[in-house]
Amino acid sequence: MRKRIINSGLKHNINADQKWLDIEMLAVVEVTSEDVVFPIESALLLGEVSGWRASGPGKQMIRLLFDKPQRLQRIRLKFEELEFERTQEYVLRWSPDAGQSYQEIIRQQWNFSPEGSTSEIEDYQIDLPAVTILELGINPDINERNIYASLKEFRLA
């Protein structure tokens, strides 16, 4: 058997050097709502740390409409919940033709618990050649309690 022991820190350093897309220059952002203290820019722009939060409870949508079709090879999402135990579901989908059709990338549920799992980080390696629209739909609680959706980080490369 051929094998190698790799340094797990090396992967982290490679990811740290990732050249993230400058969403501010490449796309218009549509969002169903936002808390004035936690605007969508706080999740999309590099160097921001506070993240986005909805202005009300329930399902939310974040839509990126690219000025020109973009090739996407990586999507990184970071969610954080420090207060409530809940099961969140999100769906990430894309359109190659300005919204005429959509293809789902991922649909996933995550259980948050203040005593255990307080953050979810998803890092998708993809190859989407010409994305015109990227949508992230978030249902912050599948049990339909009055929970506000939030997103700590949304990065694209």
* b/e burial code for range 5-31 (CB count within 10 A of at least 16 → b): eeeeeeeeeeeeeeeebebeeebebeb
- Per-residue pLDDT tens for 48-65? 889 999 999 999 999 999
Task: Report yes or no on 108 lying in a domain.
Answer: yes
* pTM of the predicted structure, to 2 decimals: 0.87
Which domain does 140 fall in, by range?
23-156
Q: H helices of 33-146, where?
A: 41-44
Task: Report yes or no on 2 lying in a domain.
Answer: no
Reading the block at residue 32, the tokens are 């169903």
Task: Report yes or no on 136 lying in a domain.
Answer: yes
Task: Report yes or no on 3 lying in a domain.
Answer: no
Split into its structural domains, the chain has a count of: 1
Task: Report yes or no on 56 lying in a domain.
Answer: yes
* pLDDT (0 to 100) of residue 48: 81
Domain CATH number, residue 63: 2.60.120.260
Task: Report yes or no on 77 lying in a domain.
Answer: yes
